[in-house]
């Protein structure tokens, strides 16, 4: 199914996750947004359409997801809430509950039917587990692991790759043989601890994050290609040209956010002056601003970087479809924080314009300072 048809089906058939007992935690920014801003479904629809963004769930539902992952065929959407995990079927417009305890981090699809899900220890045990869940057969196999706090799960031709804490509390990459459950250290040339790990096996690319930033290397050799300083996570596309980058955007006010054409420049200037006077009267403990999650794109062919100004989001992932589709946890559009949702957008037209030496609406060039750039 094409991404556009799938997401339209989801929106038409599903409203949102409504049960309060399933809601995830939220940060100060989200709490302020919930307290001071009424959700305007028409506004979200207008802004999303203006920037070719499709949303998977109801625009004004309490969509407080912690993780999500699209299946390799692009039909099933796995998502996690505080007390469990669920799978949305885009063709049948149904949601089923994954029959496990609450996952400890994000899951990974190993095939269109099989998920790997990190779980806490079973009652009375100390070893954490990774569940291999067959959605079609409704069957689960448990694999106990000797390392702790598994995260960054991803499929690998030889099985499963993930990161976990070793005996010294350092996060390292590991692989699991799905037939035996055996776990072993991966990438002997990667000696430093990591915080995030992303792989594009087809493109022979691997990235990890550390205190230095996000580093991109050749998967087969460990040859360093780029170090993206100030970047929390780098996600290489399977085709090997584009890398999506997660970083912090410029500060914006919690209490005064406007879309691009909402008011005139003159009115905006007067409003900012009033805002500064109001802010000066607030106690020191009040958080006046937030740095939204910014999306950047790096072109491995040209070495150029671009900032997405049309929308904010994180938990980036490349949607498994022909073309250049980016999935993300939506934070806002056009400089305004909106109700949380899982978004999907095509970058094909933006890339076509960049290749034609034109700058698309909602994109701007960025000069990066990391090595290899």
How many folded domains does the chain comprise? 1
Q: Provide the residue range defining the domain that includes 277.
A: 257-288
Distance CA 332, CA 338 (A): 5
Tell me how far apart the 2 most distant CA atoms of the chain are, in Å.
67
H or E element at residue 140: strand 139-144
pLDDT of residue 273: 73
Report which of residues 276 and 114 the model is more confident about: 114
Burial of 11 (0-12, 13-18, 19+ CB in 10 A): middle
**For 191-243, how does the pLDDT look when each residue is reduced to its tens digit (9 = 90+)?**
999 999 999 999 999 999 999 999 999 999 999 999 999 999 999 999 999 99
Q: Could you tell me where the DSSP H helices lie in the chain?
A: 3-13, 28-36, 41-50, 265-280, 348-355
The verdict on residue 273 lying in a domain is yes
Mean pLDDT of the chain: 86
Of 83, 77, 51, 80, the closest CA to residue 66 belongs to 80
Please answer whether residues 233 and 257 qualify as being in contact, where contact means their C-beta atoms are separated by less than 8 angstroms. Answer: no
Q: Let me know if residue 265 belongs to a domain.
A: yes
Residue 269 falls inside a structural domain: yes
85 located within any domain: no
pLDDT at 79 over 50: yes
pLDDT in tens, 112-134: 999 999 999 999 999 999 999 99
Helix, strand and coil in the chain, % to nearest 5? 15, 40, 45
Q: Is residue 262 part of a domain?
A: yes
Strands of 67-70's sheet in order across: 67-70, 76-81, 84-89, 94-97
Position 169 in a domain = no
Q: Is residue 277 in some structural domain? A: yes
The count of C-alpha atoms lying within 13 angstroms of the C-alpha of 226, restricted to the half-sphere facing its C-beta, is 28
Q: How far apart are CA 85 and CA 58, in angstroms?
A: 18
* pTM score, whole prediction: 0.85
């Amino acid at each position: 199914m094409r991404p556009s048809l799938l997401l339209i089906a989801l929106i038409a058939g599903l409203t949102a996750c409504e049960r309060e007992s399933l809601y995830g935690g939220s940060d100060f920014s989200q709490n302020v947004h919930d307290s001071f801003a009424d959700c305007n479904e028409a506004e979200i629809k207008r802004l999303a359409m203006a920037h070719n963004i499709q949303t998977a769930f109801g625009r004004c539902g309490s969509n407080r997801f912690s993780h999500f992952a699209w299946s390799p065929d692009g039909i099933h959407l796995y998502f996690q809430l505080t007390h469990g995990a669920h799978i949305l079927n885009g063709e049948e417009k149904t949601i089923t509950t994954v029959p496990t305890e609450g996952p400890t981090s994000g899951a990974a699809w190993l095939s269109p039917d099989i998920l790997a899900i990190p779980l806490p220890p079973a009652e009375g045990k100390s070893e954490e587990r990774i569940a291999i869940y067959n959605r079609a057969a409704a069957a689960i196999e448990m694999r106990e692991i000797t390392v702790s706090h598994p995260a960054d799960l991803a499929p690998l031709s030889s099985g499963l790759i993930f990161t976990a804490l070793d005996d010294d509390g350092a996060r390292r990459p590991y692989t699991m043989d799905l037939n035996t459950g055996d776990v072993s250290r991966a990438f002997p040339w990667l000696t430093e601890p990591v915080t995030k790990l992303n792989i594009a096996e087809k493109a022979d690319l691997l990235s990890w994050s550390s205190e230095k930033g996000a580093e991109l290397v050749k998967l087969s050799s460990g040859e360093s290609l780029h170090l993206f300083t100030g970047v929390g996570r780098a996600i290489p596309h399977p085709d090997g040209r584009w890398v999506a980058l997660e970083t912090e955007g410029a500060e914006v006010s919690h209490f005064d956010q406007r879309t691009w054409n909402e008011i005139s420049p003159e009115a905006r200037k007067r409003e900012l002056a009033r805002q500064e006077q109001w802010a000066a009267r607030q106690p020191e403990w009040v958080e006046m601003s937030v740095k939204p999650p910014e999306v950047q794109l790096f072109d491995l062919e040209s070495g150029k970087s671009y900032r997405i100004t049309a929308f904010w989001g994180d938990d980036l992932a490349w949607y498994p479809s022909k073309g250049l589709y980016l999935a993300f946890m939506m934070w806002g559009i056009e400089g305004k924080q909106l109700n949380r949702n899982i978004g999907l957008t095509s970058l094909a037209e933006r890339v076509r314009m960049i290749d034609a030496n034109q700058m698309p609406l909602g994109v701007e060039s960025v000069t990066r300072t990391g090595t290899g750039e």
